[in-house]
């Protein structure tokens, strides 16, 4: 029998945590992800199904929402990413597909993305140098697309001015991590 061992997006056996004065960058590997796309003309029914079955309101553009075990953020017109704890929701995509039925298309996304939680009093100083978002004017619940080091990413405000999730392609986790570290070192 094979003895396979999962590795993090950065290639480690445990999540990478980098600490600076007033800033912590943490690789967050315990999330299950599934994208939900409402089928043509089914946007209202798809949103209603997710709300009814998962108790999760799908957010409006530029926002994320959370309810109990689930979180979702807006990715584009009639397109959202649903997020949950991987330990409890390893089959998230299957459960979301059951919830939406024929009103939406669901795709497993867990291993397609990497997430870095960036927190601390210096977080805005770092992130404002990495992306063209006005995060100082934002608030918890904001979710934006951004380009960071030529990578299409999502930046979620988890706690106003203090904690953000930076989500990018898993295949570019090393590049995204390097950008975060390099910027932190230049700022702090």
User: Tens of pLDDT along 78-104?
Assistant: 999 999 999 999 999 999 999 999 999
Task: pLDDT band for 4, please (50, 70, 90 cuts).
Answer: confident
Ordered by where they begin, the domains of the chain are: 17-29+112-187 (3.30.1360.120), 31-111 (3.30.70.1520)
Give pLDDT, residue 2.
Answer: 82
User: Tens of pLDDT along 160-171?
Assistant: 999 999 999 999
Averaged pLDDT, 27-38: 97
Percent of the chain with pLDDT strictly greater than 70: 100
Averaged pLDDT, 11-18: 97
Asked if 23 and 188 touch (Cβ cutoff 8 Å), the reply is yes
User: In sequence order, what are the residues at sequence separation of 6 or more whose Cβ sits closer than 8 angstroms to the Cβ of residue 92?
Assistant: 32, 33, 34, 82, 84, 108, 110
Averaged pLDDT, 45-68: 96
Strands, sheet with 17-20, edge to edge from the N-terminal-most edge strand:
17-20, 23-27, 113-119, 163-169, 151-159, 143-148
User: In sequence order, what are the residues at sequence separation of 6 or more whose Cβ sits closer than 8 angstroms to the Cβ of residue 41?
Assistant: none
Task: Reduce the secondary structure of 76-124 to three states and give it as a string.
Answer: ECCEEEEEEECCCCCCHHHHHHHHHHHHEEEEECHHHEEEEEEECCCHH
């Amino acid at each position: 029998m094979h003895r396979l061992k999962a590795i993090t997006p950065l290639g480690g056996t445990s999540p990478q945590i980098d600490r600076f004065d007033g800033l912590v960058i943490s690789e967050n590997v315990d999330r299950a992800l599934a994208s939900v796309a409402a089928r043509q003309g089914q946007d209202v029914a798809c949103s209603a199904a997710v709300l009814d079955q998962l108790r999760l309101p799908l957010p409006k553009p530029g926002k994320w929402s959370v309810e109990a075990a689930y979180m979702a953020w807006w990715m584009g017109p009639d397109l959202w990413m649903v997020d949950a704890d991987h330990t409890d929701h390893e089959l998230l995509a299957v459960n979301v597909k059951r919830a939406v039925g024929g009103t939406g298309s669901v795709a497993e996304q867990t291993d397609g993305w990497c997430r870095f939680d960036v927190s601390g009093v210096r977080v805005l100083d770092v992130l404002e140098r990495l992306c063209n978002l006005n995060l100082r004017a934002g608030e918890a619940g904001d979710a934006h697309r951004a380009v960071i080091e030529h990578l299409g990413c999502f930046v979620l405000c988890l706690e106003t001015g203090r904690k953000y999730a930076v989500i990018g392609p898993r295949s570019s986790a090393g590049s995204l991590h390097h950008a975060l570290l390099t910027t932190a070192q230049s700022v702090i």
